[in-house]
């Protein structure tokens, strides 16, 4: 199948002031309009001498076509609204009249797709890049039968890379604030691949260019979608910086992708990203802030509270708040305990008598399992907290006034447990509500406070507010 190249070109916004002299105005306006109409509407400027551009000609026709697409007043002139639209950040795919798909509607002929991240941008941590890419794929897997599995060797269906300038596909990047990324429609070889311009400033938030938002748009193209006329759609041509935690896939996007692949299989037909009831995010800086569970995840700290999770990147003073269902649609709200086994790239999450295992945003097969499978007696019905020590390979489970110790290497509960929390962890007891391990310390949470516990001296070294990690 012939692949169709998609070039995401987001142009830096530039201010435009109309000069008094009309001749000068036309010339300057054309400097903005000509490359735009050539790139996105097929205008052939080389065939039109500048001194013959007047009246009803191909330029006017292309301006009218562009105005019609964006819902502007169709005047055929370069009025202020038209020029403003031309100077907005946008995708480089030519605008078409009919939304949904590319010509001939190329689609993948299978539902289980693979992807591979070939390299990383130095603008973000590897964990942030991994997270943004996984989250971008989740946007589409939530509303289709498609699944996306990461591989680390060999050729994937969707190969993802960061590059500058000439990078081997005859469509070189043009430096900062020009073409941000491009992707190919479904097909063999380079089909489906996505390239991101390394010269741009990639971020995990609304500064610079948000990798999640651009990647989600690009992967829509990798799946066969073209642009939408709906300004609220992810597939709208113009890039719009929004808070990633508030992102919701529009119904226009859902309709387009489900036209190609159908709805999700054995899952609710409604996207979990569109909650039916209003939700109130927790006030992370409240003096009475408490948490249901806490864990690390690929270098971040994840705090769970009711239906929400709070992501803390240690190098970023801010914390993002998202719905739990946005990342793990199959998990229930109200997670009660969680911990990471970094050596396995797995996080275990507990609620009542069941627990789940995830790797990134992917739920591992075979879960949920009953907590008794870990070796707990039948009278243990739920966990209060859990924490894993990567140095010893031991995981501690806190239940009431007691704790159990589990050996991750042998996959078995250690003998002579449970033991009392207060006797083993001096200054911590009697109960622990949430816990995590970081930099040779346990952090035990009790109500609105946390205790920093040194694992070498076996003593409490600090008492802090529960939300001290948020810069409050």
Give the pLDDT confidence of 62-86 residue by residue, as tens digits.
888 888 888 889 998 899 998 988 8
Which residues touch 349 (CB under 8 Å, ≥6 apart)?
A: 293, 295, 328, 331, 335, 337, 338, 355, 356, 357, 358
Residue 98 in domain: no
Task: Identify the burial level of 214 via C-beta atoms within 10 angstroms of its C-beta, where 0-12 means exposed, 13-18 middle and 19 or more buried.
Answer: buried
Tell me the per-residue pLDDT of 116-173, one tens digit each, with 9 for 90 and over.
999 999 999 998 999 999 999 999 999 999 999 998 888 899 999 999 988 777 667 7
Determine the length of the chain: 472
The C-alpha atoms of residue 406 and residue 387 are separated, in whole angstroms, by: 10
The C-alpha atoms of residue 290 and residue 142 are separated, in whole angstroms, by: 30
Sign of CA dihedral 425, 428, 431, 436: negative
Q: Strand, coil or helix: what is 259?
A: helix
Q: Strand, coil or helix: what is 382?
A: coil
- Enzyme catalytic residues: 218
Q: List the one residue out of 190, 178, 197, 202 whose CA is nearest residue 124.
A: 202
Domain of 211, CATH number, reads: 3.40.390.10
Residue 247 in domain: yes
Residue 458 in domain: yes
DSSP annotation string for 122-141? TTS-HHHHHHHHHHHHHHHH
Alpha-carbon separation of residue 407 from 140, 240, 387, 393, 415 (angstroms): 38, 48, 12, 6, 10
| Same domain flag for 346 and 257 | no
| Same domain flag for 205 and 338 | no
Residue 283 in domain: no
Among all chains, which residue has been given the structure tokens 């973000």? Answer: 124
| Same domain flag for 255 and 379 | no
Give the per-residue pLDDT at 24: 66
Task: Identify the burial level of 17 via C-beta atoms within 10 angstroms of its C-beta, where 0-12 means exposed, 13-18 middle and 19 or more buried.
Answer: exposed
Q: List the one residue out of 378, 306, 329 whose CA is nearest residue 135.
A: 329
Give the per-residue pLDDT at 319: 85
Beta bridge partners of 442: 437, 453
Residue 321 in domain: yes
Residue 349 in domain: yes
| Same domain flag for 313 and 181 | no
Q: How many CA atoms, within 13 angstroms, populate the side-chain half-sphere of residue 190?
A: 16
| Same domain flag for 197 and 302 | no
User: 57 is written with which tokens?
Assistant: 């000609």
Domain of 398, CATH number, reads: 2.110.10.10
Q: Strand, coil or helix: what is 180?
A: strand
Give the per-residue pLDDT at 419: 95
Task: Identify the burial level of 359 via C-beta atoms within 10 angstroms of its C-beta, where 0-12 means exposed, 13-18 middle and 19 or more buried.
Answer: middle
Give the per-residue pLDDT at 98: 37
Give the per-residue pLDDT at 279: 52
Among all chains, which residue has been given the structure tokens 């009919």? Answer: 98
| Same domain flag for 118 and 80 | no
User: 401 is written with which tokens?
Assistant: 């006034």
Q: Strand, coil or helix: what is 308?
A: strand
Give the per-residue pLDDT at 318: 78
| Same domain flag for 336 and 427 | yes
Among all chains, which residue has been given the structure tokens 């994937």? Answer: 156
Give the per-residue pLDDT at 326: 75
Identify whether the C-beta of residue 363 lies closer than 8 Å to the C-beta of residue 328: yes
The C-alpha atoms of residue 6 and residue 217 are separated, in whole angstroms, by: 11
Per-residue pLDDT of the chain (472 residues; tens, 9 = 90+): 333 344 343 333 323 333 334 556 777 888 888 878 877 777 776 655 543 444 447 888 888 888 888 888 999 889 999 898 888 777 656 665 333 334 445 899 999 999 999 999 999 999 899 999 999 999 999 999 999 999 888 889 999 999 998 877 766 777 787 678 888 889 888 889 999 989 989 999 888 889 999 999 999 989 999 888 888 889 888 788 888 888 889 888 998 999 999 988 754 444 444 333 335 788 989 999 999 999 999 888 999 999 899 988 877 777 888 888 877 878 888 999 999 999 888 999 999 999 999 988 788 889 999 999 999 999 999 999 999 999 999 999 999 999 999 999 999 999 999 999 999 999 998 899 999 999 999 999 999 999 999 999 999 999 999 999 988 7
CA 340, 341, 344 angle in degrees (round to 5)?
Answer: 130
Residue 218 in domain: yes
User: How many domains are there within the chain?
Assistant: 3
List b or e across 103-128, with b for residues whose CB sees 16 or more CB atoms inside 10 angstroms.
eeebbbeeeebbbbbeebbebbbeeb
Identify whether the C-beta of residue 147 lies closer than 8 Å to the C-beta of residue 363: no
Give the per-residue pLDDT at 320: 84
Give the per-residue pLDDT at 437: 96
| Same domain flag for 303 and 398 | yes
Residue 97 in domain: no
Give the per-residue pLDDT at 291: 95
Domain span holding position 311: 293-465
The C-alpha atoms of residue 7 and residue 93 are separated, in whole angstroms, by: 6
């Amino acid at each position: 199948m012939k692949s169709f190249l998609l070039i995401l070109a987001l142009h830096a916004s530039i201010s435009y002031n109309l000069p008094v002299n009309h001749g000068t105005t036309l010339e300057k306006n054309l400097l903005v309009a000509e490359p735009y109409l050539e790139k996105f509407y097929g205008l052939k400027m080389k065939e039109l001498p500048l001194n013959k551009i007047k009246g009803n000609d191909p330029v006017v026709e292309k301006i009218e076509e562009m105005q019609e697409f964006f819902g502007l007043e169709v005047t055929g002139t370069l009025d202020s609204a038209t020029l403003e639209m031309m100077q907005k950040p946008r995708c480089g795919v030519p605008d078409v009249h009919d939304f949904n798909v590319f010509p001939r509607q190329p689609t993948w002929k299978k539902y289980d797709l693979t992807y591979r991240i070939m390299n990383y941008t130095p603008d973000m941590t590897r964990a942030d890049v991994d997270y943004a890419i996984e989250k971008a794929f989740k946007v589409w897997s939530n509303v289709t039968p498609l699944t996306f599995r990461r591989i680390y060797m060999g050729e994937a269906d969707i190969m993802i890379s960061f590059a500058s300038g000439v990078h081997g596909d005859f469509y070189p990047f043009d430096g900062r604030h020009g073409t941000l990324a491009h992707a190919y429609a479904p097909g063999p070889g380079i089909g489906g691949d996505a390239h991101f311009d390394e010269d741009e400033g990639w971020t995990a938030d609304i500064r610079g260019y948000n990798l999640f938002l651009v990647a989600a748009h690009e992967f829509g193209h990798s799946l066969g979608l073209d642009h939408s006329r709906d300004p609220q759609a992810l597939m709208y041509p113009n890039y719009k910086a929004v808070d990633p935690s508030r992102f919701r896939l529009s119904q226009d996007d859902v309709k387009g992708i489900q036209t190609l692949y159908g709805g999700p299989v054995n899952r609710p037909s409604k996207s979990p990203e569109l909650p039916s009831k209003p939700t109130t995010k927790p006030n992370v800086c409240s003096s009475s802030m408490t948490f249901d569970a806490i864990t690390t995840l690929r270098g971040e700290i994840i705090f769970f509270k009711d239906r929400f999770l709070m992501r803390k990147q240690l190098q970023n003073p801010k914390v993002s708040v998202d719905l739990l269902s946005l990342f793990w649609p199959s998990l229930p709200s109200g997670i009660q305990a969680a911990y990471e086994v970094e050596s396995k790239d797995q996080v275990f999450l507990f609620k009542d008598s069941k627990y789940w295992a995830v790797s990134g945003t992917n739920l591992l097969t075979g879960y949920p399992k009953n907590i008794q499978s870990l070796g707990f007696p039948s009278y243990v019905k739920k966990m209060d907290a859990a924490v894993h020590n990567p140095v010893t390979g031991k995981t501690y489970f806190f239940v009431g006034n007691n704790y159990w110790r589990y050996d991750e290497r042998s996959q078995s509960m250690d003998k002579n447990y449970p033991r009392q929390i207060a006797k083993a962890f001096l200054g911590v007891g009697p109960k622990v509500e949430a816990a995590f391990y970081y930099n040779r310390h346990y952090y035990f949470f009790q109500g609105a406070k946390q205790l920093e516990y040194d694992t070498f001296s076996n003593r409490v070294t600090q008492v802090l507010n529960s939300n001290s990690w948020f810069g409050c």
